[in-house]
Homo-oligomer: A and B are copies of this chain.
Amino acid sequence: MSGNNIYGNTPTFLGAKNISADKNTEGLDVSVYGVPWEGAVTWGDYTGCELAPKVIRLVSARYTGYLPEIDHLDVFEHLKLGDMGDIDIVPADVEETMNRIEKFASQVWDSGTFAVALGGDHGITFPIVKALAQKVDGEVGIIHLDTHYDNKPNFDGDKFARCSPFARLYEQEGVRNEAIVHAGIHGPRNHPDNGRLANSVGATTITIRDIRKNGDLQAMAKQMHDIASKNTDAVYLSICSDVMDYAFNPGGPADGNGLSSYELLELVYEICKLGVAGMDFVEIYPQSDPNKFSAHIASTIVLYALAGVIHHRQNANTGEKEYVKN
């Protein structure tokens, strides 16, 4: 394996330190790991989001940590990143895979670094947050940016399908349902039962129209974080690519009327400025995106999140809340 490649000709994400062998996060601030998992397929014959961790890393080689538009911030001057590699999922064994993700995530949370998971399908969010919930003293709140509720009780019997993680999280001890915010929700790919269930467990829905009618992205981010951080000890951020309109996310699900890349980036930055323990970005399908635009924007989304983390560290002394340590 040549140089810093994480595997094959694939470099580490954004040139992070390669810690795939020993998972040693000493001296690092951020841990990135891939979850090349695709479980239930809920629409169409094929998707292929297990390729996303690889393709996101490949295209990340195009980028530095510099964001001229955010006061010329160079993220890498402030944060050291490590790339932990990918979880060894078992294609034909959903439960074993969920266990492995949980176990892997548990180690990541122990490291006290800001944890970034690259999906894979949305099913990965449940074991990741479950692991977090077992680490924090109190409860966990979740800001969930998505077109869909992803809270279907099960898909054809599969409880860990991509459309179901929030059904599992609603049931998970240590997750505070009143601190779950489904934001960006819209469109008829949802089912009336999804909205009813979210409502019944006490979760908050903020639709795309709520965001658009309000118009102030910073205020919307604040509103989301206020709910997610109320009476919780950690806030987790889970982003499904399709919260962006297909125009900005050609390698994701076919949902229109979504956020622009600008809108998503602003929300992510503002949310993370307020304190977040970790995040995931899921559901991109490189096969249906010849120019890999969705994989490219993933790097920027993570950098905007990290810009928020830097800002939060500088302005607050509340590391306890969003960072998990043993």
Contact with B along A135-148 (1 / 0, CB 8 A): 00000000000000
Instruction: Report the count of interface residues on A (CB-CB < 8 A).
Output: 94
What's the nearest-Cβ distance from chain B to residue A88, in Å?
4
Please determine whether A8 and B93 come into contact, CB atoms closer than 8 angstroms.
Answer: no
* Among listed A46-54, A229-237, A308-316, interface-contacting one: A46-54
Question: Mind listing 26 A-B residue pairs with CB under 8 Å?
Answer: A1-B156, A1-B157, A2-B157, A9-B45, A34-B91, A50-B50, A63-B189, A66-B188, A66-B192, A68-B186, A69-B187, A69-B208, A69-B209, A70-B209, A86-B92, A188-B299, A245-B247, A245-B248, A245-B261, A247-B293, A250-B291, A256-B261, A256-B296, A257-B261, A257-B297, A288-B291
Please determine whether A187 and B257 come into contact, CB atoms closer than 8 angstroms.
Answer: no
Please determine whether A158 and B1 come into contact, CB atoms closer than 8 angstroms.
Answer: yes
The answer, yes or no, to whether A85 is at the interface (CB within 8 Å) is yes
What's the nearest-Cβ distance from chain B to residue A83, in Å?
8
What's the nearest-Cβ distance from chain B to residue A251, in Å?
9
Which one of A8, A258, A265, A292 has the highest number of Cβ atoms from chain B below 10 Å of its Cβ?
A8
Chain B residues near A247: list those with CB within 8 A.
245, 247-248, 260-261, 293
Within 8 A of B (CB), among A233-271: 245-248, 250, 254-258, 260-262, 265
* Among listed A36-44, A109-117, A170-178, A318-326, interface-contacting one: A36-44
Chain B residue nearest to A60 in the complex (CB): B188
The answer, yes or no, to whether A286 is at the interface (CB within 8 Å) is yes
Q: Is the interface of A mostly helix, strand, loop or mixed?
A: loop
Task: Given the known inter-chain contacts A1-B94, A55-B46, A62-B43, please indicate yes or no for A68 contacting B256, CB distance below 8 A.
Answer: no
Please determine whether A41 and B288 come into contact, CB atoms closer than 8 angstroms.
Answer: no
Chain B residue nearest to A61 in the complex (CB): B43
Partner of A291 from B209, B254, B260 at Cβ < 8 Å: B254
Chain B residues near A187: list those with CB within 8 A.
63, 67-69, 300
What's the nearest-Cβ distance from chain B to residue A196, in Å?
8
Please determine whether B45 and A48 come into contact, CB atoms closer than 8 angstroms.
Answer: no
Task: Given the known inter-chain contacts A51-B48, A209-B69, please indicate yes or no for A257 contacting B265, CB distance below 8 A.
Answer: yes
10 cross-chain pairs, A with B, having the tightest CB-CB distances, nearest first:
A85-B92, A69-B207, A256-B261, A20-B92, A9-B41, A63-B188, A86-B91, A247-B247, A69-B186, A69-B209
What's the nearest-Cβ distance from chain B to residue A303, in Å?
5
Chain B residue nearest to A42 in the complex (CB): B9
Please determine whether B40 and A8 come into contact, CB atoms closer than 8 angstroms.
Answer: yes
Chain B residue nearest to A63 in the complex (CB): B188
The answer, yes or no, to whether A107 is at the interface (CB within 8 Å) is no
Partner of A190 from B54, B68, B186 at Cβ < 8 Å: B68
The answer, yes or no, to whether A277 is at the interface (CB within 8 Å) is no
Measured CA separation A139–B62 after assembly (Å): 35
If A69-B208, A69-B209, A247-B260 are given as contacts, then 18 extra A-B residue pairs at C-beta distance below 8 Å, sorted by A number, are A2-B157, A6-B92, A21-B92, A36-B50, A43-B62, A66-B192, A66-B194, A68-B187, A68-B195, A69-B185, A85-B90, A245-B247, A247-B247, A254-B293, A256-B296, A256-B297, A286-B287, A288-B290
